[in-house]
Structure formats: structure tokens, C-alpha cells
Structure 1
Amino acid sequence: MLNWSQQLRDMDDARRQAYLLAAAVATVVQLGLIALDLQTHNWIDLISSVPGTAVTMAIIPAILRWKVPTTVLGYAIATLVTLVELAEFLPYLVRPEVKPQAFFSFVVVTTLWFGLIPMRFAMMLSAAAYAALAALVLSRTTYDLGLLIYLASVTAVVGVVASFGQQVSAHQQKAAAFQQQSLTDALTGLPNRRALLGELHVLWAAKDTSLTTPFALLMLDLDHFKAVNDTHGHTVGDQVLQALGPALRGLIRSADILARWGGEEFMLLIPDTTAQGAYSTAARLSGLVLDSSAPIPGVTFSAGAALSHEARTLDDLLALVDARLHAAKDAGRQQVRWDASPVPSAGNEESAVFN
């Protein structure tokens, strides 16, 4: 699998794990507060704490089961927790004092805002929530001004740390996006020459170790593609190039990498395969005709194929598949060749022409 796509998945997995950790910690703390309320027979606080605890606990299986992007998941979690905590704050409007649980809930909610939603909105919400909480506390006959100042300091620290974290995350996302663009062919959406060469270098470096099994490489070239451009125009020619990927995807494994090499040439990398597996894939591709969904039905391709152990160097392997591609063209096109000689040797499976 290409490195850039793995990086994107790793980043999303890291966020999902962070959400799980935050939900787990919040659940433990909330259960502790509920236990304290039970011991002190504080039924009013207990009733207001149970819904929030239930929501926090429900977030954990939701994160594990929902396969939506973490950006969407983050907004959903932030909205749900905010509504629940707002409901828990309502009883303080009529109580004679604001208890420490309210300050803890404020810290939890603001931390979620800074971690899950854009920084600008998180700062606005946190400032408004702090102003409302401060007004509520100061309206009581007795209050702890030092605690309010401490809470403001904690909120500021959380905001600064979260801002730095969001900047790092945004930079990583942009870097991954730029890397994806640099490794993707703009016309077909397939990996480009640079991406495939990167994969080939990794596989070639590991091919003589016990870490990987041999791989196969096929160089494909659309037959009579110049005539397609000359007759139908370059727009149709581009559509034919775009149709090749979907036409082949159902015939190859998900681990196989189809890349645009240049012009009408493509490369198919078959990693971790045996000779028999590579021959089987080549047999499915040989003689393939682009179906009626293609811009010009009936377009075919030729290919030259080789196994990794057939060459001493990677450059030799690339030259070998190129030579066998030319042999397929000279032999009449619309075929995959494993041999570059004009006439295949009878009885030699590796020299067979699949057509």
C-alpha cells in the first residue's frame, strides 16, 4: 500500500484513539463523582450527573463502531456533550452556591471544544461559557475569587496547548495532502511514476531477505492509442486513459498497484506473489478489451511481464518488462508476454504468450 494513504489512516486512527482516551478518563472521573454523591446522599447532584455520565460512556462504543471521519465524529461528540453539560448547569441558577463539580464540568467541556472544533469557535465558546460561569459565581453571597482566576488560567493553558496541537495537526494534514498530490497522476487518479518507483525501491531492497516474497511487474501500453487521439481528439483519448483503471481493478488484488508510467503506458506491480500467482493474473488480463462503458469500446492493450528474480538490478527489471512489451506489440498486440524473443519456446511456461 502506498505510504501517503497509510499516513492519512494513521493520523485518523491517532485522533480516534485520543477521543477514546479522553472519553475513558472523563467516564472514570464522572463515576467517581457519582460514587461521592451516593455516599453523601446528594441526590440532586446525582440526578444531574447521571445523564452526562451515560452520554460519555456511550461515546466509547460509538467511536469504536462508527467508521465516519474523525472530523465529523468530533463535531457530533462536542455538540452532544455541550448540550448535556448545559442541562447539568441549569440547576445552579436556583442554588445558593456553585459547587466544585461545576468547575470540573467547565474544564471538561472547554477541553473538548479546544480538541474537537476549530480554534476560533472554541475560543469564542470558552470565553462566553467562562463569562456565564463567572457571572453565576459572583452573583452568590459567598464565592471564591481565587478559584475563578485559577479556572481562567487553566482554560488559557488548555487553549494554548490545543492551539499548538491543532497547528501541528493542520500542518501534518497539509503535508500529507501535498505528498498525495505529488504521488498521484492528475488525469487518472492513479499513483504516478514517482509513487511506483518508491514502492519498487522498497520491495527491491527487501527482496533478498526473508521479509517478503518475490513480486511481479507488468508494463502495459494501450494499443493504437495515437490513432485514438488523431481520430477522436485528445479529450476522448484522456477518457480512454481514465477508463483503464476501473477496467482492471476487478481483475487484480486490492494489494496490487496500478500506476500510470507516462503517456499511454501503465505499470502493474503485483507484490508478495508466487510465479503461479503472477501467471494467473497475467492470464486474466491478456486479451482484455475495454467494455462498452469506455469512451471507445474495443480498446485493447499489450503488456510485458517479469518476475523480480529474473533481473539483477531494478533498472534491469524495468528494461526487461519494456523489452517484453515491445515483443507483445511485434507479436500482434492485445497480449501479455513473459518472453522477449520473436518466437516463444515450446513447453516453456515462463516464455508463454497468454492470448
Structure 2
Amino acid sequence: MPVAVPPEQHLDLTRRRGYLFGCLGAAVAYGVLSIDGWAAGDWRPLVGMAVCSLLILTVLDRRITLQRLDGLLGLASDFGALFMLWSVFHNAGPFSAQTMLMFSIFLVVWFGVRAFRAAVIRAALLCAGILLIGLLRQPPEPIPVLYFVFLAFLVGQMTFAGRQIRQEASARAHYADLALTDPLTGLLNRRALYETLQAHYTRQASASRPAPDGGGKGWRAPGRRETRPGKTGGGETGLGVLLLDLDHFKTINDSYGHDIGDRVLQHVAGVLEGCAAPGDQVARWGGEEFLILVSTSERSALEQRCHRILAALRTIHSGLPPVTLSIGMAHASEAPDVDSLLRLADRRLYRAKRDGRDRMNKDTLLNL
């Protein structure tokens, strides 16, 4: 069970990578423009290439947050656009393709890092400035200006559509996360862990299925490992479950109120997460019950996790009413399917309750 990377980190890496590629592309574009501009005495592309190179170093520095990067890129584009307008205004020649390309880079940056409304205002002001310069030229140059206005509209429309799609995807991901998360404790819920268990048994069944057209009895495909009882196929580690139930939790609710009961559940959830190893999954199974999935092929590892949890809950004080729990332990190698595994863990849990609570049960008898 691999540990998922938080979505925030994915978004951080994606945005930083996009900024890096954008600055690299702008630096290359300015570099190409500087080849032609150098012979004509136009040093503006060289300035743009130098600024983009500095921005590349800034993007690569992980100490600089994305919010600060947004501000730096936006500020550089603001000053760059003003400088370009001033330079074009004092240039008596017609609009060149290189000049319009440099203006278009500012559009892309604005709509990429600024709020949409702020980007629209800057794009409108830039179009108005270019239009004014074009009308003041002799003869006037409306055609390049119209092309640029159309480009600004197209970039803005695509950005708006992209942000709408991203918001809808983010909302769907948020609702999907809510469907798999317990709102009180922040743990996974019953549905999430049941799906994980079901997927484990599905992979195990696929790995244990004999290869088609195997020929005679006992034939095995070359390189295929034989699946033994108690082991999962496909080279996976085994899987164990710990079903935990708080002892006398109703008494806590009746004596202290449901608010304190909720805080006790949150405290227990934190203790369980603290005792979990990397790769374990902790869920609120329902009410005062919790379930932990443990990636291990050894029953002894499950026992050690149980003892660690019991000891931690006895020693970690939170100012809340003291609470203990009982644990039923089961391994996937002991049951043919998910429901059988959960029933086995449940029977062992209640055996632990009958034996005095505040303990775990690993009885190997199936008819408890």
C-alpha cells in the first residue's frame, strides 16, 4: 500500500514546473530575437533574455514560495510591458513580428500568474496602448493591432475555460475525498478501506490464477513463481487487519456528554495514526470502532502493532476521560475473501471483550 503524495505537493510541483518551462521558453525566444536584433542595434531582446534567466534561477530555488514567485513573475511582466510600450513608441518603424511576439509573452504570464480580473485589466491596457501607438503611426497600422487584440482575447478565453475546468476538477476531487474520509477524525472511512481490501484480494486472485493453455498437470509458465498458501501473489507483501473497539465508550458519552465523546474519538484517532507504520492505513470503521490495515506477511508484526497501540493509549494523557480498547487481529492468509477476513477479526475482537477488554486477541481457532 504505497503512501500517496498529498495533492498540494502535486500542485506545487506542477506549477513550479510550468513556470520553469515558461521562463525557459521565453529565454529561448528572446535569445532567437536577439540574434536579428543585435545586428540592427536592438538590445531589448538581450534584456528580456537576461531577466528570464534570472527568473529561471528564482524558480529553481525551492526556498521561494509559489505565492512569491507569482508576485515576481507578475511584477517582471508589468515592468517589461511598460518598457516595451515606451520602446515601441520611440521607434518610428512599423510593428515587427518580434515586437508582437514579445508582447504576447506578457499576456501569457499575466493570465498564468495573476488573478483573472487583474490579468484582463492589464491585457486591456496593453491593447489600448498598442492601439494608440498604431493609430499615431504614419501611415496608421491597424492590422497588427487587430491581430494582437484577437490574440489577447484568445489567450483570455482559453485561460478562463482552463480555470473553469480546473475548478470543476478540484470540486470533484474534493467531493471524492469527502466520500472516503470521516469528517470527525479526518481518517479514512469504512468505504475507503473496504475498497482497499477488495483490491488486495482481487490482485491476489489474479496472481494465483494459472496461466492459460498450461499443458499438462503441474505445468508452470517459465519465470512464473508458484503461489503458496498464506502468501499473496505478484510479489506483494501480505496484509493484516486490526479491528479496534473502545471499551465502555457509551459510559463516557452518558457521563460526560457527546462533545467529550467526540474529543475522545479524535484523541484515539491521533494515537492510532502515531502508532501506524509507513504504509499502514487507519480508518474509522463506524461509531467507536477503528480498523487498521497493516502491510506485512508476518503475524508477529501485527501483534507488535497491537501491543504498541495498547501501551500508547494507556500512557498518552490528553486531559480527557481515560479510555482503553480491545483489538481483534486477523491476517489475509487466514481468510478467502474480504468478508470472511472481517468476520474473523470481529469474532476475535469480541473474544478480547469477553476476556476482560484492554487487550488483543489472535486466537487461531476459526470457531470462536
Shift of 1:93: 4.4
Supply the distance in 2 between the matched residues of 1:24 and 1:161 (Cα, whole angstroms): 22
- Give, in whole Å, the separation in 1 of the partners of 2:71 and 2:134: 29
Contact 2:27 2:49 in 1 (8 A): no
Greater shift after overlay, 278-287 or 181-190?
Answer: 278-287
Do the aligned partners of 2:127 and 2:145 also contact (CA within 8 Å) in 1? no
Distance 1:290 1:166 in 2: 50
CA change 1:7–1:61 in 2 (3 A) is closer
Counterpart check, 1:129 vs 2:153: no
Deviations 1:88-119 (A, max 9, x none): 32444444346544322221111122233343
In the other structure, the counterpart of 1:80 is: 75
Post-superposition shift, 1:279?
Answer: 3.0
**CA offset digits 1:133-173 (Å, max 9, x no partner):** 22233333355321111111222222222222111111110
Counting only pairs closer than 5 Å after superposition, residues 31-180 of structure 1 correspond to structure 2 as 31-38=31-38, 40=39, 42=41, 44-45=43-44, 48-62=47-61, 65=62, 68=65, 72=67, 75-86=70-81, 88-89=83-84, 90-97=86-93, 100-180=97-177
Give the direction of change, closer, same or farther, for the CA distance of 1:250–1:110 in structure 2 (3 Å limit): same
Between 277-286 and 10-19, report the one with greater CA deviation: 10-19
**2:268 paired residue number:** 244
Q: Which residue of 2 aligns with 1:260?
A: 284
Residues matched between the structures, number: 338
Matched, 1:25 2:1: no
Task: For residue 233 of structure 1, report the CA deviation from its aligned partner.
Answer: 0.8
Q: Deviations over 1:50-79 (max 9, x none)?
A: 4433344335414xx3585x6x36633542
| Aligned amino acid, residue 121 of structure 1 | A
Whole-Å Cα distance in 2 between the matches of residues 282 and 220 of structure 1? 9
Indicate the residue corresponding to 2:362 in structure 1.
338
Q: Which residue of 1 aligns with 2:226?
A: none
Distance 1:315 1:184, change over 3 A: same
Deviations 1:291-310 (A, max 9, x none): 55524253111111111111
TM-score after normalising by structure 1: 0.83
Shift of 1:13: 4.2
**SS of the residue 1:259 aligns to:** strand
The secondary structure found in structure 1 opposite 2:322 is coil
Secondary structure class of the residue paired with 1:286: helix
User: Equivalents in 1 of 2:316, 2:301: separation in Å?
Assistant: 29
Stretch deviating more after TM superposition (307-316 or 51-60): 51-60
Cα 1:201–1:84, aligned 2, differ >3 Å: closer, same or farther? Answer: farther
Single out whichever of 95-104 and 24-33 deviates more from structure 2.
Answer: 95-104
> Taking structure 1 as reference, are residues 341 and 309 closer, same or farther at Cα in structure 2, changes over 3 Å only?
closer
Over 3 Å counting, the alpha-carbon distance change for 1:279 and 1:55 in structure 2 is same
| SS of 1:221 mapped into structure 2 | strand
Question: Superposition RMSD on alpha carbons, in Å?
Answer: 3.0
Residue 350 of structure 1 is matched in structure 2 by: none
Question: What percentage of residue pairs aligned between the two structures are identical?
Answer: 27
Aligned residue identity for 2:81: L
| SS at 1:268 equivalent | strand
Which of these residues, 175, 178, 181, is aligned with residue 181 of structure 1? 178
1:224 aligns with 2:221: no
**TM-score, normalised relative to structure 2:** 0.81
5+ residue gaps, structure 1, are: 345-355
Is contact 1:34-1:49 (8 Å) kept? Answer: no
Partner amino acid, structure 1, of 2:36: L
In 1, are the aligned partners of 2:271 and 2:309 still within 8 Å (CA)?
A: no
Whether the 8 Å CA contact 2:2–2:279 is kept in 1: the answer is no
1:324 aligns with 2:348: yes
